Amino acid sequence: MRSVAPLALLAVAVSSVSAADEPAKPTFTPTAIKAPFLEQFTDDWSERWTPSEATKKTAVGGETWSYVGKWEVEEPLEPVIIDDKGLVAKTKAAHHAISAPFKKPIAFDDQPLVVQYEVKYQKGGNCGGGYVKLLEDGFQTAGKEFDDKTPWTIMFGPDLTCPGTKIHFIFRHKNPVTGEFEEKHLKLPPKPVFGKLTNLYTLHLFPNNTYDVRFNGESYNLGNLLEDFTPPVNPPKEIDDPEDKKPEDWVDAKRIPDPDAKKPDDWDEDAPYEIPDEDAVKPEGWLDDEPEYIPDPDAEKPEEWDDEEDGEWIAPTVRNPKCDEAPGCGEWKRPYKANPAYKGKWYAPMIDNPAYKGEWAPRKIPNPEYFEDLNPVKSLVPIGGVGIELWTMTEDILFDNIYIGHSIEDAEALAQETYFVKKPLEEALEKAANKVDDEDEEEQVASFKEDPIEFIRNKVFKFVALARIDPVLAFKTHPETGAALALSVVTLFGMLGVLFGFVGAQQKPITKSAKKTDAPSPDDKKTETAPVAPAGGAKEETPLKKRK
């Protein structure tokens, strides 16, 4: 067997170079940017956020479910910025709800509204929301009671819709005639791929009723509140008269079968679709007396077969090999062909209906609930806080760097400090991990027993490649390799210490340790003389056991 010691030392050297070449991870620093609401989930986050303790009940008062989903502020599972933490929905298949009030309500006046935040589906997606609700002003004292019935003005953000993805943009608009609110949904919401990396979601809403939905800094949907939402903001001026009914004698059939048409005398509806081909001739060499299937000549009746209990044993059949050598075998039957006389069932041709009056529609009447709001942004209820209320089948959804304010420039500056720092680091980490996975699938590596040198080399260099990007992830995905390399480093420095006198310079002579066995081996009978003690010490004989 070849020695693996040189390879282990090489691995240590390469690992040391990788650690030296690895760029230092950035460290999280709270932003200096100010906004009506800006959250980076620093250590005092719990002073602002309140998990919901609400309970849903049925119409008759029976308890159905509560917001039992757990919230934690912690680092991502694969951090790329030191000490950077986010709010994590921890529980799978559970209802989550948490909210935070604003110091001052935000009104929709002459400034744009900017909503921006990050979401990371750390374990991929399987039915999980990532949207936020901008709650109506007035909810601020009801944090523990926050639930799906709490009034909100805007809902925005990603949703895994089982299957598929969507970025919601919904607003609640008040009908000035009835006083009722109605949800207005974006007709064509963006549907980008979310993946497992951090994504940035941004909404710009302007005083002139235009909006811009952005994903990772790029515009995905530009439009107008008066044109792109369903149901529309403004109802129609006229509606169908609910009292108007279609007359009984109204004819709305545009075409009818020709009542004067007659089936031709020579039309045979019973003629078959196919008939035997009288011109067909049996192929030469056809084996009439050979069956297509014969009993399997190699089959044998099982020894445990009992004719009285199981009946007469019959061998399974197989295709007759003689049939494969001939055009065919068995009884020859004339093939079928299309029947030229076939016409099928006769139907009268269609003609225009002379009694046709057109498509009936109820008459129109003025809509009693009609109104015209040409500036719906100004009609939106001011917002007093932000809430996250969702049900998810995906755990460990991370929220971070929430900006709600009026400055597009400040929101973009925050993204440059946070998202655009994470993005290249996360992409590099994912690329390295995928490369390792691809190599694991594509390469057929010999086992340790077959080729120990190749086995160790493959493991070491995969670990080193990933450690260049993220040493922590390398130890997580390849713990055995990491532990072995760490042990090699310790062993190397121990050997150097012995060689140069740094370790054990004043210690007593080191004796070879005995093998720990239950019974003495032939080697136990052989002894060697211990080294001479230092000056002033007594010379003594010590029995030693040789290592195998």
At 469, the pLDDT band (50, 70, 90 cuts) reads low
At 58, the pLDDT band (50, 70, 90 cuts) reads low
Of 37-51, 145-159, 457-471, the range with the lowest mean pLDDT is 457-471
Tens digits of residue pLDDT in 347-377: 999 999 999 999 999 999 999 989 999 999 9
How many other CB atoms are there within 10 angstroms of residue 35's CB atom?
Answer: 18
Asked whether the predicted pLDDT for residue 544 surpasses 90, the reply is no
Angle CA(299)–CA(303)–CA(304) in degrees, nearest 5?
Answer: 120
Tens digits of residue pLDDT in 103-126: 999 999 889 999 999 999 999 877
What is the amino acid identity at position 118? E
Asked whether the predicted pLDDT for residue 289 surpasses 80, the reply is yes
3-state SS class at 227: coil
Model pTM score:
0.64
Q: What is the mean pLDDT of residues 265-281?
A: 93
CB 183 within 8 A of CB 172: yes
Residue 65: the pLDDT is: 73
Q: Where are the beta strands (DSSP E) in 41-151?
A: 50-51, 55-57, 63-66, 71-74, 86-89, 94-106, 113-121, 132-136
Residue of 68, 140, 127 whose CA lies nearest to 97:
68
Residue 282: the pLDDT is: 92
CA-to-CA dists, residue 520 to 527, 528, 541, 547, angstroms: 13, 17, 20, 13
Residue 103: the pLDDT is: 94
Of 125-129, 132-136, 148-152, 217-221, the range with the lowest mean pLDDT is 125-129
Q: What is the mean pLDDT of residues 503-516?
A: 45
Full set of structural domains in the chain with CATH? 37-239+376-429 (2.60.120.200), 452-495 (no CATH)
CA-to-CA dists, residue 381 to 151, 154, 373, angstroms: 10, 9, 14
Asked whether the predicted pLDDT for residue 540 surpasses 60, the reply is no
Q: Where are the beta strands (DSSP E) in 362-513?
A: 364-366, 383-392, 397-405
How many other CB atoms are there within 10 angstroms of residue 1's CB atom?
Answer: 5
Burial class (CB within 10 angstroms; exposed 0-12, middle 13-18, buried 19+) of 354: exposed
3-state SS class at 127: coil
Angle CA(76)–CA(80)–CA(81) in degrees, nearest 5?
Answer: 90
Asked whether the predicted pLDDT for residue 3 surpasses 50, the reply is no
- What's the whole-number average pLDDT of the chain? 83
Report which of residues 424 and 503 the model is more confident about: 424
Of 108-112, 155-159, 160-164, 297-301, the range with the lowest mean pLDDT is 160-164
Percent of the chain with pLDDT over 70: 76
Residue 359: the pLDDT is: 92
Residue 372: the pLDDT is: 95
Tens digits of residue pLDDT in 10-39: 444 444 444 444 557 899 999 999 999 999
Q: End-to-end alpha-carbon separation of the chain, Å?
A: 16
Residue 435: the pLDDT is: 72
